[in-house]
Amino acid sequence: MTMTPTSQTVVLDPKSNVPGVRAPGFPDTLRAEWIKFWTVRSTFWSTAMLFVLGAGLTALVCALAAKDIASGAAGESAGSFVTWGMMIAQITAIVLGTLVATSEYGTGMIRATLSATPRRGAVLAAKALVISSTLFVVGTVTAFAGYFAGNWFLSREGVGLALSDDGVLRALFGSGLYMAGLGLFAAALGLLLRHTAAALSAVLALVFVVGNMAWLLPGTWGEWIAKAMPGNAGSGVATPVSFNPNLLGPWTGFAVFAGEVAVLLLVALVAFRRRDA
Amino acid sequence: MITAQGLTKTYGQKTAVDGITFTVEPGRVTGFLGPNGAGKSTTMRMILGLDRPSAGSVTVNGHRYADSPAPLREVGALLEARALHPGRSARDHLRWLAVSNRIPAARVDEVLDLVGLDAVAGQRVGKFSLGMGQRLGIAVALLGDPPVVVLDEPVNGLDPEGIRWVRTLARQLAAEGRTVFVSSHLMSEMALTADHLVVIGRGTVLADCSMSEFIADHAASYVRVQSPQRGEVADLLRRQGLDVDVHDEELRVQGLDAAAIGELVGTSGLLLHELTLVRSSLEDAFMTLTADSVEYSAHEMAPTSAGIAR
């Protein structure tokens, strides 16, 4: 092992800085989080899975159901099918969101992260931006791809939907928004629980199991709880016509979901700033 | 410069660090020594602002770590737990760290070369051996060319050549005028690396002094004298104002070196059978000092009556 001499800048004052190097700010934290996000394999595989499931299953289900939709035997509107795969793809969004937070704790990476950027609010904001922007773009692209593929089968049977039809464009961009929201929801819970399996089970249970069970609650209050469950409130925006007629309106529901995500992020931020790393 | 003032960390009922005060000066290697569980890592995490002190404070260059505008360019740290994602390559790990603190990208390859990982920079760190992980940790610490370097157990998992390399590196960094703070539970390692020592046990500072003072104070030496005329020799030496202890067959003499004692005894016409300088090792001194503060101590196995079948 040969040692090359280290440079001579010893009394390096980070305020005055090395020539040409300025003090880091939020854009640098954001870039660092972006690099971290894309330099682990799970990110590529999760986003690829999101696309395959989201677009692929939409196309498959539309192909299989087109005849029944056209004949009326399906008993559902074609609008319920053009984003069908996103219902399954949301699992990968949840996985990705959870891992963004919990992988740091599982590996001890969090210590490196916070020693590089001690401003914890900035770290959380950067993570939130990275996960939500990625999921919004990938979710929207996937929804469009699924729509174009699935709608081809529907159009063959004469029940296709135009992009200009009511709720179609809203649902395609809404799919991206819902994926982004789910990712943030999972990341916030991941930051609170700091354990991959625990956080993943909690989010999946809350969105899929508890969300569906809640419809069994009696009375008006039970109905409102069911409507407000994150998966139920947020998913309406992601489909032109929902299978479930009891959901809140698409934007009303999404506003409720966004509020829930915001509250959870805030709780996560408070805990993140207080706790030892 | 690192300054701790009454630094305390409690976890529920358990006090990990109990009001410690010390200063780590630039231009020398300060060893942070203590048995496992003494509070070394907790202290280092508090220096880096990762753990919040329960009381007291610790500052780096006069301010809290978290208040540094570019912490990696001010303090470089190797943390005991490998703070790495196993799926990321060594270069990517350094790359995001560099970006986060606006460290020029060229520095990444510089430090990879410096620690000897340039050939495996593209490999995922999950495949690294303990020693390679340790080298990457040191690369992280040096990335920002920081004036303050904090290394928690840097020689863990390194081979003898790696250990010597870390030792040379620490000494070189100090010679360049940097503040170097190195923790270890191995006295023998510290003896070769550190100029100054902060010894802790059970969360309190047991010693804060230069290495030579520590040796003088804790590693006592004496001259062992054996003679058939033990009583007369003892009297003679005591008359010279020397400190003489009688242990079984031998005399333990302090206050004069072996040669001078030999001449003294010889000119008096007394017989000598042995004249030896005995120095207790630093390891012994450290053990003695921290004996009461070892949290997890092993006990010798009692021999079983049956013994082992041979």
Q: Which of B267, B285, B270 is nearest to B221 (CA)?
A: B285
Judged by CB atoms closer than 8 Å, whether chains meet at B45 and A277 is answered as yes
pLDDT band at B84; cut points 50, 70, 90: confident
Judged by CB atoms closer than 8 Å, whether chains meet at B96 and A277 is answered as no
pLDDT band at B304; cut points 50, 70, 90: low
d(CA A131, CA A180): 7
Q: Which is more confident, B166 or B220?
A: B166
Paired with B8 in beta bridges are B55
Residues of A in contact with B146 (CB under 8 A): 12
**Chain A contact present for B80, CB below 8 A:** no
pLDDT band at A2; cut points 50, 70, 90: very low
Residues of B in contact with A11 (CB under 8 A): 147, 177
Q: What are the residue ranges of helices labelled H in chain B?
A: 40-47, 71-74, 90-100, 106-114, 130-142, 160-175, 187-193, 211-218, 230-239, 258-267, 282-290
Residues of B in contact with A107 (CB under 8 A): 82-86
Predicted confidence (pLDDT) per residue in A64-120, tens digit: 999 999 998 888 889 999 999 999 999 999 999 999 999 999 888 999 999 999 999
| Chain A residue closest in CA terms to B92 | A39
Q: pLDDT at position A240, please?
A: 93
Average pLDDT over residues B81-92: 88
Q: pLDDT at position A5, please?
A: 44
User: Which member of B49, B102, B116 has the closest CB to residue A24?
Assistant: B102
Predicted confidence (pLDDT) per residue in B273-292, tens digit: 999 888 777 777 787 777 77
> By 3-state DSSP, what share of chain A in percent is helix, strand and coil, each rounded to 5?
75, 0, 25
* Domain covering B221-279 assigned CATH 3.30.70 in the classification: yes
How many residues are present in chain B?
A: 310
Residue A152 predicted with pLDDT over 80: yes
DSSP per-residue letters across A154-198: HHHTT----TTSTTHHHHHHHHHHHHHHHHHHHHHHHHHH--HHH
For chains A and B, count residue pairs whose Cβ atoms are closer than 8 Å.
146
d(CA A51, CA B273): 89
Residues of B in contact with A23 (CB under 8 A): 69-70, 102
Residues of A in contact with B86 (CB under 8 A): 107
Q: Which of A105, A44, A50 is nearest to A268 (CA)?
A: A105
Q: Output the six-digit token pair for A95.
A: 């996985």
Judged by CB atoms closer than 8 Å, whether chains meet at B66 and A112 is answered as no
* Domain covering B2-216 assigned CATH 3.40.50.300 in the classification: yes
Q: Which is more confident, A9 or B181?
A: B181
pLDDT band at B21; cut points 50, 70, 90: very high
The lowest-confidence range among A32-36, B147-151, B189-193 is: B189-193
Judged by CB atoms closer than 8 Å, whether chains meet at B49 and A10 is answered as no
Q: Output the six-digit token pair for A33.
A: 């989080």
Judged by CB atoms closer than 8 Å, whether chains meet at A3 and B99 is answered as no
Write the DSSP symbol of residue B104.
-
Residues of B in contact with A7 (CB under 8 A): 145
d(CA B8, CA B10): 7
Predicted confidence (pLDDT) per residue in A200-227, tens digit: 999 999 999 999 999 999 999 999 999 9
**Chain A contact present for B52, CB below 8 A:** yes
Q: pLDDT at position A4, please?
A: 44
Q: Would you kindly state where each structural domain of chain B is located, as residue ranges?
A: 2-216, 221-279
Half-sphere exposure of A204 (CA within 13 A, CB side): 15
Residues of B in contact with A31 (CB under 8 A): 99-100
Q: Which of A165, A170, A188, A166 is nearest to A253 (CA)?
A: A170
d(CA A251, CA B211): 70
Q: Output the six-digit token pair for A105.
A: 């704790």
| Chain B residue closest in CA terms to A42 | B87
d(CA A165, CA B56): 65
Backbone φ, ψ for residue B271 (5° rounding):
-90, 145
Residues of B (206-235) whose Cβ lies below 8 Å from A: none
Reduced to 3 states (helix: H, G, I; strand: E, B; else coil), residue B197 is strand
**Chain A contact present for B114, CB below 8 A:** yes
How far does Cα B141 stand from its chain's mean position? Answer: 18
ipTM of the complex: 0.89
Residue B119, sorted as left (phi over 0), alpha (psi -120 to 50) or beta, turns out to be: alpha
Judged by CB atoms closer than 8 Å, whether chains meet at B84 and A112 is answered as yes
